[in-house]
Amino acid sequence: MAQVVFSSGFNWKVIANKWDGFEEAFFGFNPKRVAFFDDDDVARLLGDTRIVRHGPKIVATVENARFVVRVAEEHGSFSRFLKQWPQEDQVGLLDYLKTHGARMGGNTGQYFLRFNGWDGFIISRDVAAALVREGVVDKPPTGKAAMRKVQAAFNAWHEETGKSRVEISRTLALSIGPS
């Protein structure tokens, strides 16, 4: 979760090159430990040259650790929570992450789910163009109504083809070709 939050808006190579430093600075991202970080810990991280010192993203990492701990307490584990969420309702899960997590809106939540093995789509520029081409939406989807149409299309294609939503998302992306 922290990796996709920090990567958002940054060159991913910068984050990847500093990731060992992130893991050291955040004590291996143990959610129970990071959830107890206070203002002194945030100040320490703002001065830590091993990481990208972006205050709002540091604070979001602490808030997301607290979110993960709360969800784990309610569901037995955060992983169990994700596994129990219906695959047919990625839009609902994305809304939940955006509402209860920190800086998890837009594509950040989509990448988080994908990188954690969740069978979901990512609405990249090319996927959005393919969705417009296929008549699912008339412009790149941003609102709730458009996202429901996208979800319905992915669910229908999954049922029709037996392919995972990840495969469908990648196929749509590759169907656009170079710009």
With b meaning 16 or more CB within 10 Å and e meaning fewer, what string describes 119-147? bbbbbbebbbbbbeeeebbeeebeeeebb
List, for residues 70-87, the tens digit of each pLDDT value. Answer: 999 999 999 999 999 999
List, for residues 2-35, the tens digit of each pLDDT value. Answer: 999 999 999 999 999 999 999 999 999 999 999 9
Domains, the chain, in order of start with CATH, read 2-115 (1.10.340.30), 125-174 (no CATH)
The rounded distance, in Å, linking the Cα atoms of 179 and 166 is: 22
- Considering the entire predicted model, what is its pTM? 0.95
**Could you tell me the maximum CA-CA distance found in the chain, to the nearest angstrom?**
54
